[in-house]
Structure 1
């Protein structure tokens, strides 16, 4: 390091990506600092995947109790206490944040609590602390933030996912606007906790970008859980009254609720970062523009994670951090491979997918595709009278017979997809899947026993 710089690496943002990059680089003997304006741990740990999964698990209990009654159990006074849950969640989130902080300290990283703003390509100001530091290299890992339509009349009465984790009391009625994974997950959470839940989305179906069979199947299944789903519609305005919030929809409907939550997307957190001063360009979508190795338009500045809007998943940000460290500090150029990254939606029922949708495969597989689909009632529901169904779908390249897409909607789908992803990433063929003996009785065995090709194009359920 040139002695003219305070640090070899300065990281802006102590989320999953920033923390990993900072720790690896400091453990490699470099002088590293990381600045965080809120709490160490970032979106995933503090106000995203982790608390969300706790909320999902809490809300699933009501469904489990219904199933249990079919098996002969009875629960006379089962009730849910929101403050008890919130306290337990907040204690655990604080513990996890503390572990991240401790690990930075053990690695020798200087943690600066404050908002960092770029003054030029090598200088960072810590806002409100009258402190500037210099660094040879800078990594931006500031993540994303929820977006809501600020021009909508009454939008100031709505919350986003960030406030949903800290509601002072559980509402009796909620309306959630949006059709992506966050909207669908929170609809399941609130419905499972006994809240009268409505989901509205301006598109033709939920989970845009997912396989059409998955989208249609999930939309039907979440309605079976008591969620009212209104598609092809959006807000005209939100009106606050003595009794609650009145949602005026563009189709003329009026829905009165206690809480309105907007889950209408997330945007890269680039506001007032001083990017122009440092020569860091944004792309057309408003994300930081980077090359395959996460380098920005400024030679000594890199960016990883959601702020680059490539693939906005925590494990991806961590892998980008590792690749950045290897490239910049180990003289071992690496870039993350975004092919066949599995993902889960913790809706109720949950979704697990990896690889191509059927539509994507039909575009990219020259010889066409073979599609295998099954829908069945899980064994768990045999005694309950429930008509809930699981969907499993394999998409196979007709020429190479490689399994290029796996799509699951049903209990434990996210757990199954992690292991299915190994096979898809490895490029295994349908014959190799079929050669794997089933584990019985499980749901996952259906993945290796699917024999009948779907003849007509799918899409209709």
Structure 2
């Protein structure tokens, strides 16, 4: 058994964005003695196989779309070669490595001890850390507070023969060669984002979804418009689908056996990507040693303060049951947790409010959403108390296009409640939606009404002005 060789005020298990944010705040602001444990690379999913590499890939895809649009603005040129996938992947990997290094430098500068290893709990205050994954090189850490922020990993279906022949979103960032034809299984935001990028960069893209729409937790307007746009731009959507078997047919190609609304069929792909959900990264933690309770989805149960049922163990991010697998949510929750644990009476009630959290899908076109969907608002407040404002339009960007059918329409919706028409939901799809949503998110958090939107002078000509001129 490992000898206890280290003690600290705060032990953070997980070097993702939420864990890093909480550790840095505890150490910098409150001088808590902090140790951080991470088994992989610092930055977690967001930096390594998520937000950052995904967004730069989205930029590449968007630039390719802009190149196609350029002729409408009088530009004439020929592409001398296809997109340099391998060169771009190398640049993206260099960016990720640079960010990993920056995170480690921050930990050194801020007096946070960093242990690169695998953590397992042996009690409610003690954790064994196998340094660099070596079970014979153990360090035991005793901590006053333990934060579990280890994130999750993409799931691979266990009930489909040959499913191991496919990849996940993690594998997407390891592709050294651009697939010619890809099958993406899933209808959530990861599936939608990767499909949009593949298609925009010239890969023949098929999506296999269990129902008839993408993004089923989003407003129906978003679902309908995204389906229209994805089918319009050439993505083949297999609705009401299920996968039966995957078979290796050689030369990197696989045969997918599936059922969809048209019946049973097969097709061949050089990449099959599973985007069917994520699993909390808890298997190596030995939570049974502490009796930390899990929900029916194997996520850690927490209260609004991120507390588990064990008094000195907290959890945040993808491993807990708060329902938002978003990096900024984990960061915000981590900072408030550090405030509450180490900030004294002034921060005794510090916690993240999980209502009206803005979220963006980097699809093609982009999606922004905050607050209640129309069905959710009607259920909560009743039909008679709800007023809906809608608008659809084409951006000025497309006004000089030779073929106006190439225009990507924007669709916006405001969901309002009560006599004062408080805006409780805002849903937008169209170019520029991601940057636009942040400011409107502030307005909703402040309790803005439709009249407040109307009183704001429009900025013309922009897409955003349509949100303050709806009738």
Q: What TM-score range do you get, normalising by the shorter chain?
A: over 0.9
What residue in structure 2 maps to residue 9 of structure 1?
A: 10
Shift in Å, 1:4? 9.6
What residue in structure 2 maps to residue 172 of structure 1?
A: 180
> C-alpha separation between the residues in 1 aligned to 2:49 and 2:218?
24
Shift in Å, 1:387? 4.1
What residue in structure 2 maps to residue 98 of structure 1?
A: 101
Q: 2:199 aligns with which of 168, 172, 191?
A: 191
TM normalised by structure 2 equals 0.93
> C-alpha separation between the residues in 2 aligned to 1:183 and 1:26?
38
Alignment of 1:304-343 (within 5 A): 304-310=316-322, 311-331=324-344, 332-333=347-348, 334-343=350-359
> C-alpha separation between the residues in 2 aligned to 1:224 and 1:344?
21
What residue in structure 2 maps to residue 246 of structure 1?
A: 255
Q: 1:301 aligns with which of 282, 303, 313?
A: 313
Q: 1:438 aligns with which of 455, 458, 462?
A: 458
> C-alpha separation between the residues in 2 aligned to 1:29 and 1:449?
49
Shift in Å, 1:13? 0.3
Shift in Å, 1:5? 6.3
Q: 1:410 aligns with which of 418, 430, 447?
A: 430
Q: Point out where structure 1 has 5 or more consecutive residues left out of the alignment.
A: 452-461
What residue in structure 2 maps to residue 450 of structure 1?
A: 470
Q: Deviations over 1:240-271 (max 9, x none)?
A: 11351111112312121100000011122111
Shift in Å, 1:105? 1.2
> C-alpha separation between the residues in 2 aligned to 1:133 and 1:196?
51
Query: Is 1:421 aligned to residue 441 of structure 2?
Result: yes
Query: Is 1:113 aligned to residue 122 of structure 2?
Result: no
What residue in structure 1 maps to residue 420 of structure 2?
A: 400
Q: 1:154 aligns with which of 136, 156, 162?
A: 162
Task: Report which stretch shifted further, 441-450 or 3-12.
Answer: 3-12
Shift in Å, 1:151? 2.1
Aligned length: 449
Shift in Å, 1:365? 2.0
What residue in structure 2 maps to residue 22 of structure 1?
A: 23
> C-alpha separation between the residues in 1 aligned to 2:419 and 2:242?
43
Q: 2:281 aligns with which of 266, 269, 280?
A: 269
> C-alpha separation between the residues in 1 aligned to 2:102 and 2:273?
31
Alignment of 1:219-234 (within 5 A): 219-234=227-242
> C-alpha separation between the residues in 1 aligned to 2:277 and 2:400?
39
8 A Cα contact 2:370 2:441, kept in partner: yes
RMSD of aligned residue pairs (Cα, Å): 1.4
Task: Report which stretch shifted further, 290-299 or 34-43.
Answer: 290-299
> C-alpha separation between the residues in 2 aligned to 1:253 and 1:275?
44
> C-alpha separation between the residues in 2 aligned to 1:99 and 1:290?
31
Secondary structure of the corresponding residue to residue 252 of structure 1 = strand
Shift in Å, 1:130? 2.4
8 A Cα contact 1:295 1:303, kept in partner: yes
Q: 2:301 aligns with which of 285, 289, 300?
A: 289
Query: Is 1:213 aligned to residue 221 of structure 2?
Result: yes
8 A Cα contact 1:268 1:309, kept in partner: no
Alignment of 1:379-394 (within 5 A): 379-384=396-401, 385=403, 386-394=406-414
Shift in Å, 1:168? 1.9
Task: Report which stretch shifted further, 339-348 or 394-403.
Answer: 394-403
8 A Cα contact 2:391 2:413, kept in partner: yes
8 A Cα contact 2:169 2:274, kept in partner: yes
Query: Is 1:63 aligned to residue 75 of structure 2?
Result: no
> C-alpha separation between the residues in 1 aligned to 2:439 and 2:103?
27
> C-alpha separation between the residues in 2 aligned to 1:306 and 1:208?
19
Q: Deviations over 1:384-423 (max 9, x none)?
A: 3214211111111143311111111000101111111111
> C-alpha separation between the residues in 1 aligned to 2:266 and 2:397?
38
8 A Cα contact 1:146 1:265, kept in partner: yes
8 A Cα contact 1:224 1:388, kept in partner: no
Runs of 4+ in 1 over 4 A off after TM superposition: none
Query: Is 1:279 aligned to residue 283 of structure 2?
Result: no
> C-alpha separation between the residues in 1 aligned to 2:11 and 2:182?
42
